[in-house]
Structure 1
Amino acid sequence: MSEETEGRRPNPVDLHVGGRVRMRRKLLGVSQEQLADSLGLTFQQVQKYERGANRVSASKLYEIAKTLQVPVSFFFDGLADPMDGSDGDEIGQQAERIVQEFLTTPEGLELAEVFPKIGRGRVRRQVLDLVRAMAEEAHRAESAAA
């Protein structure tokens, strides 16, 4: 039985590793079904790994790294080093989470791919201002509805 079904929250390391699996899979344009097939799993198992609901064994993580063409260490990038005795850089970890959440959405991934192709900094700034204004408006509408 997974920790999630017992009402406990997934381990933060499992969440991080799963998020990195999802991000890399999406960057390569691989579906959960395709990854599952290459690993001899069901797509539901891949979903559970990506959500952090189930832990990925060392051997399975090795297979995932090979399939997604990254070193195993890729899945731990952004985690605090357990040997230095600190919790790491909280601001850096928060930034990593924001980027990860952004890149796990289809729209975020596409935007990340095409945004750098906008050659002029002024135009990129206008796009950012537009998105910021839209987000602020959505937040105001949500607050008014609550």
Structure 2
Amino acid sequence: MGQFIDEHVGNRIHQRRLLLGISEKFMGQILDRTVLQIKRYELGLDRIEASVLFKIAGVLDVSVTYFFEGLIAVPIEQNAGEEIYRFESDATDLVAAYQGLSPKERGEVFEHVVALGKPGPDKLN
């Protein structure tokens, strides 16, 4: 389960870094890490120390909790009084699908989502 969380956090870092146009090289310089280490963090291959995650949050201008958004703990079984959890991340899947769209399709999806979010007579806002 830990690896899934590491991958999720790494993916969130990668998405945010790309959104802000920050290169792996620049990120590595700020964190005093190699480009390879940044790649390993983003792929979830290496676990990120809490102090480094805190610095990354500062560089990417987000709170540390941003990296864990989309993780939902769902109990899947009980074993000798202990719950075992499975984690789901719909938001990550949605972003990945969005990134695979053409610019025209992205624009259409964006407009549709904005329209869905607007209050209207048929909504219970």
TM bracket, shorter-chain basis: 0.5 to 0.7
Mapped pair 1:100 → 2:79: no
Q: Which moved more, 1:12-21 or 1:30-39?
A: 30-39
Give the distance between the partners of 1:62 and 1:98, measured in 2 at CA.
25
Structure 2 residue runs of 5 or longer lacking an equivalent are: 75-82, 113-125
The structural deviation recorded for 1:117 is 9.8
Give the distance between the partners of 1:13 and 1:97, measured in 2 at CA.
12
* SS of equivalent to 1:11: helix
Counterpart of 2:7 (choices 4, 11, 15) is: 15
Q: TM-score, normalised by structure 1?
A: 0.58
Change (3 A) 1:14 1:25: same
1:75-134, Cα deviation, whole Å (9 max, x unpaired): 00011248xx6646x5xx2x323223246x5x65x839x616987x7xxxxxxxxxxxxx
Change (3 A) 1:20 1:117: closer
Change (3 A) 1:10 1:48: farther
| Residue in structure 1 matched with residue 61 of structure 2 by the alignment | 69
Mapped pair 1:111 → 2:69: no
Amino acid at match of 1:45: Q
Q: TM-score, normalised by structure 2?
A: 0.67
Task: Give the conservation status (yes or no) of the 8 Å contact 1:61–1:72.
Answer: yes
Runs in 1 of length 4+ with deviation above 3 angstroms?
Answer: 85-88, 116-119
| Residue in structure 1 matched with residue 29 of structure 2 by the alignment | 37
Identity of aligned residues (%): 30
Give the distance between the partners of 2:108 and 2:23, measured in 1 at CA.
25
| Residue in structure 2 matched with residue 54 of structure 1 by the alignment | 46
Report which of the two has the higher share of helix: 1
Structure 1 residue runs of 5 or longer lacking an equivalent are: 1-8, 122-146
| Residue in structure 2 matched with residue 24 of structure 1 by the alignment | 16
Aligned length: 103
1:24-67, Cα deviation, whole Å (9 max, x unpaired): 00010111111111111101000000000000000000000011
Report which of the two has the higher share of strand: 2
Amino acid at match of 2:70: G
